[in-house]
A and B are shown apart, each in its own frame.
Chain A
Amino acid sequence: MAQIELSGIERVFKLGDSEVHALHELSVSIERGEYVAVMGPSGSGKSTLLNLLGLLDRPNAGTYRLEGRDVTTLSPDEQAEVRRTRIGFVFQSFHLVPRLTAAENIALPLMLAGIAPAERHARVAQALKDFGLETRASHRPDELSGGQRQRVAIARATIMRPAVILADEPTGNLDRSTGQDVTHLLEELNASGVTLIVVTHDPVMGGRARRRLMMEDGRLLQDVREPTPA
């Protein structure tokens, strides 16, 4: 059984009188531990797909099974629970809370999950160490470089040990070398068994993925798999 199963997904936005099919008859399944790049021109529906996968949006039709469970029919609170425990988000613009320090930003999902402060501190300290941010723990986002901010964001996305990481143009706001660092970081996480789904324009980054979903006009144009290096 695939980790993620989308079948017959439709997502329609109403813009005034006209209807826009952001996603049309989309069926995809993704296995645990896969490294998938979602590519396509803007307006092709790749961000909508990512939002659906992250349970931030609901399809108008079709079913979405995450780890065998139909998650489209869950209540908002149950969906929040799934987001909290199974999914980690990485955004292009980092989305760090400006008034909180790096350590507090990383601790946000733990706080929302109601994990005891003592365990929280231990896990945040470990994450800061893993991502090389020990000296930055008490810095606010505006005191961090772009690469450091994205590392904080990735640390936050992984602190709950999710099954899936959804990254929306994670290197879009970074220069080339820090972008590569972040890419390596995400790939390391993928190597440890986490499913990694990246939305990107960048053909270089897309080329690194073992599987590419090429999208256009809300449809899946191509599903390219590279043979896994044995």
Chain B
Amino acid sequence: MTPADTLRFATRAATGYPLRTALMVLAMSIGVAAVVVLTALGDGARRYVVNEFSALGSNLVIVLPGRTATGGLGLGNLITSTPRDLTVRDAEALLRAPLVNRMAPLSVGNSEIAWGGRLREAMVVGTSGDYVDIRAFHMAEGSFLPREDLGRASAVAVLGTKVREELFGGEPAIGRMVRVGDRRLRVIGVLGKTGQGLGMNTDELVFVPVATAQAMFNTNNLFRIIVEARSREAIGPAKQQLEHIMRLRREGELDVTLITQDAVLGTFDRILGALTMAVAGIAAISLAVAGILVMNVMLVAVTQRTAEIGLLKALGATGHNIRLAFLTEAALLSLAGAITGFALGHLGAWGLRIAFPVLPAWPPDWAVFAGIGTALATGILFGVMPARRAARLDPVQALSRR
């Protein structure tokens, strides 16, 4: 029997029982479609989070005060054991690192903003003129904080969209004097709509020069320093330079924590990657079930076609011929199921993308290959046993069955 004949014979056998074949293909395709859709969902979630983080700005190193570390007796902790505050002078010093492009200090506090009889609670962020570039914000009106000496407490403010709308409504805001806390500041700009970032809704913030904020809240502390490295590759070395500078300023003790955006991103990437794998694993169980179904269907086929197998043997078919024919049939069923499932899965992923436009629900290539591969492998694996049973049938008994 030539391979082409085996294939044709198996195809005729599969199409000869349309209902059985359709059900079989359906079961297998549901398994494959589940893998495709669920991994699309998982990977879509991963990509969504990664994109959100990238929107934060690129190549960032975030410096925060304090450090969780286990230390022994050293020069540093002999002199001091409590972490020192992060100051504007520290922030200026960080700019000396050669791989650092830009820097913005952050000082944060809650206050109220008032204009024309309206009063609103708002989070006030003291920063510098470079912050707008680091975060890649765009201005709706006016300009951002001036680039000036960090010690200068200019009486100006930049509003988030929401704050501007709530206070001024349709009236022009630029040039108006607002009261923030106990100070009167001139509005010099309004930010465009940005949305969520770093856990704060930028649209509801009021930006003032860092010195203004520190005077307002009567503190020298900085909440964070955000540093932008020259390139993505420079993030690691830049972090070391920053640590070196901080150490020099603290008599050898490093009492700040440096977080790179990559590290945060990497963590999320890993968590959501693992989630995708887990979901794919669950979907793979349905494939295994489909595989057992293939075995069951093929065993029924062997029983149904006992007389036919006996006849083929009488006509001179070898055990090998019969084994191959049944195995080919199982493989064909699995292949049809895998292809149908692939199509169904992509349809499902497309549906997800329509339903949730923010979610880039594309199934990853590895999942598609793994899904189809597993379908074929289980189909053929579970087809072996029925095929062997068919090949071992005793022709005399097989023929006597009607």
| Residues 305-360 of B at the A interface (beta carbon under 8 Å) | 307-308, 310-321
Q: Which of B2, B316, B399 touches A80 (beta carbons < 8 Å)?
A: B316
- Contact indicator A56/B319 (Cβ below 8 Å): no
Question: What chain A residues lie within 8 Å of B259 (beta carbons)?
Answer: none
Question: What chain B residues lie within 8 Å of A24 (beta carbons)?
Answer: none
| Residues 80-123 of B at the A interface (beta carbon under 8 Å) | none
Q: Which of A59-67, A94-102, A209-217, A220-228 contacts B (4 or more CB under 8 A)?
A: A94-102
Question: Max chain B CB contacts within 10 Å: which of A91, A111, A156?
Answer: A111
- Determine the residue in chain B with the shortest Cβ distance to A95: B311
Q: Which of A76, A82, A109, A160 touches B319 (beta carbons < 8 Å)?
A: A76
Interface size on A, residues (CB 8 A): 29
- Determine the residue in chain B with the shortest Cβ distance to A81: B316
Q: Which of A76, A97, A104 touches B311 (beta carbons < 8 Å)?
A: A97
Is B364 an interface residue when CB atoms closer than 8 A count as contact? Answer: no
- Contact indicator A108/B396 (Cβ below 8 Å): no
- Determine the residue in chain A with the shortest Cβ distance to B8: A111
- Determine the residue in chain B with the shortest Cβ distance to A160: B316
Question: What chain A residues lie within 8 Å of B5 (beta carbons)?
Answer: 111, 114
- Contact indicator A99/B317 (Cβ below 8 Å): no
Question: What chain A residues lie within 8 Å of B12 (beta carbons)?
Answer: 99-100, 104
**A149-191 contact mask (Cβ, 8 Å, vs B): 1 or 0:** 0000000100010000000000000000000000000000000
Q: Which of B2, B13, B307, B315 touches A156 (beta carbons < 8 Å)?
A: B315
- Contact indicator B399/A112 (Cβ below 8 Å): no
- Determine the residue in chain A with the shortest Cβ distance to B317: A112
- Determine the residue in chain B with the shortest Cβ distance to A80: B318
**A107-118 contact mask (Cβ, 8 Å, vs B): 1 or 0:** 011011110000
- Contact indicator A99/B396 (Cβ below 8 Å): no
Question: What chain B residues lie within 8 Å of A104 (beta carbons)?
Answer: 12
Is A3 an interface residue when CB atoms closer than 8 A count as contact? Answer: no
Query: Given the interface contacts A56-B396, A95-B399, does A77 sit within 8 Å of B315 by beta carbon?
Result: no
Is A51 an interface residue when CB atoms closer than 8 A count as contact? Answer: yes
Interface size on B, residues (CB 8 A): 25
Chain B nearest CB: distance from A154 CB in Å? 13
Question: What chain B residues lie within 8 Å of A83 (beta carbons)?
Answer: 313-316
- Determine the residue in chain B with the shortest Cβ distance to A88: B315
Question: What chain B residues lie within 8 Å of A76 (beta carbons)?
Answer: 318-319
| Residues 73-87 of A at the B interface (beta carbon under 8 Å) | 76-77, 80-85
Is B402 an interface residue when CB atoms closer than 8 A count as contact? Answer: yes
Question: Max chain A CB contacts within 10 Å: which of B2, B314, B396?
Answer: B314
Chain B nearest CB: distance from A62 CB in Å? 18
| Residues 278-325 of B at the A interface (beta carbon under 8 Å) | 307-308, 310-321
Q: How far is the CA of A160 from the CA of B311 in the complex (A)?
A: 15
Is A35 an interface residue when CB atoms closer than 8 A count as contact? Answer: no
| Residues 35-63 of A at the B interface (beta carbon under 8 Å) | 51, 54, 56-57
Question: What chain A residues lie within 8 Å of B2 (beta carbons)?
Answer: 114
Chain A nearest CB: distance from B325 CB in Å? 10
- Contact indicator A99/B16 (Cβ below 8 Å): yes
Q: How far is the CA of A51 from the CA of B402 in the complex (A)?
A: 17
- Determine the residue in chain B with the shortest Cβ distance to A54: B314
Is B395 an interface residue when CB atoms closer than 8 A count as contact? Answer: yes
Query: Given the interface contacts A91-B399, A99-B12, A114-B1, does A85 sit within 8 Å of B308 by beta carbon?
Result: no
Is A93 an interface residue when CB atoms closer than 8 A count as contact? Answer: yes
Question: What chain B residues lie within 8 Å of A95 (beta carbons)?
Answer: 307-308, 310-311, 314, 399
Q: How far is the CA of A106 from the CA of B147 in the complex (A)?
A: 93
- Contact indicator B396/A51 (Cβ below 8 Å): yes
**B11-51 contact mask (Cβ, 8 Å, vs A): 1 or 0:** 01100100000000000000000000000000000000000
Q: How far is the CA of A76 from the CA of B311 in the complex (A)?
A: 15
- Determine the residue in chain A with the shortest Cβ distance to B13: A99
Is B9 an interface residue when CB atoms closer than 8 A count as contact? Answer: yes
Query: Given the interface contacts A51-B396, A114-B5, does A109 sit within 8 Å of B315 by beta carbon?
Result: yes
- Determine the residue in chain A with the shortest Cβ distance to B310: A95
- Contact indicator A77/B311 (Cβ below 8 Å): no
**B383-396 contact mask (Cβ, 8 Å, vs A): 1 or 0:** 00000000000011
- Contact indicator A56/B316 (Cβ below 8 Å): no
Q: Which of B16, B315, B319, B320 touches A84 (beta carbons < 8 Å)?
A: B315
- Contact indicator B318/A77 (Cβ below 8 Å): yes
Q: How far is the CA of A181 from the CA of B2 in the complex (A)?
A: 36
Q: How far is the CA of A77 from the CA of B310 in the complex (A)?
A: 15
Known: A56-B395, A112-B321, A156-B315. 15 other contacts (CB 8 A): A54-B314, A56-B314, A80-B313, A80-B316, A81-B316, A81-B318, A82-B316, A83-B315, A91-B399, A95-B308, A100-B12, A109-B316, A112-B315, A114-B2, A114-B5
Give the interface of B toward A (CB within 8 A): 1-2, 5, 9, 12-13, 16, 307-308, 310-321, 395-396, 399, 402
7 A-B pairs with C-beta separation under 8 A: A76-B318, A77-B319, A77-B320, A93-B402, A95-B311, A99-B13, A156-B315
